[in-house]
Structure 1
Amino acid sequence: MELILQQFLNGLTLGGVYSLVALGLTLVYGILHVPNFAHGAFYMAGAFVAFSLMGKLGLNYWLAMAGAAAAVALLAVLADRLVFHPLRNSPGLHHMIAAIGVLLFLESGAQAIWGADFHRMQTPYSGILEFGGLIMPQQRLLIVIAAFALMILLHLFLKKTTTGATIIAMAQNRDGAALVGIDPNRVAMMTFAISGVLAAVAATLYAPINLVYPAMGHLVITKAFVIIVLGGMGSVPGAIVGGLIIGFAEAFGGFYLSTDYKDIIAFALLVVILSIRPQGLFSKGVR
Structure 2
Amino acid sequence: MTLFVQQLINGLSLGGIYCLAAIGLTLVFGVLGFPNLAHGALFMVGGYVTYTLLVDVGLPYVVAIVCAALVLAVIGVVFERLIFHPLRNAPHTHHMIATVGVMFFLISLVQEIWGSGFLRMESPFDGRMTVAGAQISSQRIIIILTAMVVLIALTLFLKRSVHGQAIEAIEQDRTGAALVGINANVVSMVTFAVSFALVAISAGLVAPIQLLSPGMGESLSLIVFAIIILGGLGSLPGAIIGGFVIAMAEVMASTYISVGAGQAAVFIVLMAVLAIKPTGLFGMVEQR
Q: TM-score range by the shorter chain?
A: over 0.9
CA distance in 2 between partners of 1:238 and 1:197 (Å): 20
Quick check: 39-48 or 242-251, which moved more?
39-48
Secondary structure of the residue aligned to 1:13 is: helix
Q: What pairs up with 1:18-37 in 2 under 5 angstroms?
A: 18-37=18-37
User: 1:127 is matched by which residue type in structure 2?
Assistant: G
Percentage of pairs with the same residue: 47
Distance 2:201 2:77 in 1: 16
* Gap regions ≥5 residues in structure 2: none
Note if contact 2:5-2:132 (Cα within 8 Å) is conserved in structure 1.
no
Say whether residues 1:42 and 2:50 are aligned partners: no
Q: 3-state SS of the aligned residue for 1:34?
A: coil
Distance of 1:141 and 1:283 partners within structure 2: 31
- Structure 2: how far apart are the matches of 1:252 and 1:221? 21
How far apart, CA to CA, are the structure 2 residues paired with 1:40 and 1:172?
Answer: 26
Are the counterparts in 1 of residues 230 and 238 from structure 2 also a CA contact under 8 Å?
yes
| Number of the residue aligned with 1:269 | 269
**Higher mean displacement: 240-249 or 164-173:** 164-173
Q: 2-side partners of 1:118 and 1:248: how far apart?
A: 27
- Give 1:170 deviation, angstroms: 1.1
Distance in 1 separating the partners of 2:183 and 2:260: 48
For 1:56-135, list aligned pairs within 5 A: 56-135=56-135
Distance in 2, Cα, partners of 1:128 & 1:172: 44
Which residues in structure 2 correspond to 1:143-158 (within 5 Å)? Answer: 143-158=143-158
Give the aligned residue type for 2:16: G
Partner secondary structure for residue 135 of structure 1:
strand
CA distance in 2, matches of 1:264, 1:150: 29
| Cα offsets for 1:99-146 (capped at 9, x unmatched) | 010011011000000000010011101111123312110000000000
Partner secondary structure for residue 116 of structure 1: coil
Alpha-carbon shift at residue 264 of structure 1 (Å): 2.0
SS in structure 2 at match of 1:204: helix
Whole-Å Cα distance in 2 between the matches of residues 127 and 53 of structure 1?
22
- CA–CA distance in structure 1, aligned partners of residues 101 and 227 of structure 2: 23
Structure 2 length as normaliser, TM-score?
Answer: 0.96
Distance 1:227 1:130 in 2: 31
Q: Deviations over 1:181-201 (max 9, x none)?
A: 111110100010000110000
Letter in 2 for 1:202: S
1:175 lines up with 2:175 in the alignment: yes
- Does the Cα contact within 8 Å between 1:235 and 1:284 map onto a contact in 2? no
Deviation at 1:269, TM superposition (A): 1.4
**Structure 1 residues 161-211: Cα deviation after superposition (integer angstroms, max 9, x where no partner):** 222111100111222211111111101000100001100000000010001
Output the CA distance in 1 between the equivalents of 2:122 and 2:206: 11
Q: Distance in 2 between matches of 1:74 and 1:22?
A: 19
Contact persistence 1:21–1:221 (CA under 8 A): no
Partner in structure 2 of residue 164 of structure 1: 164
Cα-to-partner distance string for 1:195-237 (whole Å, 9 max, x where unaligned): 0110000000001000111111111121110000000000000
The number of equivalent residue pairs is 285
> In the alignment, is the contact (CA less than 8 A) between 1:232 and 1:238 conserved in 2?
yes
Q: Given that residues 230 and 281 in structure 1 are in contact (C-alpha distance below 8 angstroms), is that contact kept between their aligned partners in structure 2?
A: yes
Q: Distance in 2 between matches of 1:215 and 1:138?
A: 26
What is the CA distance between 1:261 and its match in structure 2?
2.6
State the match for 1:203 in structure 2: 203
RMSD: 1.1
Deviation at 1:82, TM superposition (A): 1.0
Q: Deviations over 1:73-98 (max 9, x none)?
A: 11111111111111111111111110
CA contact (8 A) 2:38 2:102 kept: yes
Deviation at 1:67, TM superposition (A): 1.3
In structure 1, the gaps of 5 or more residues are none
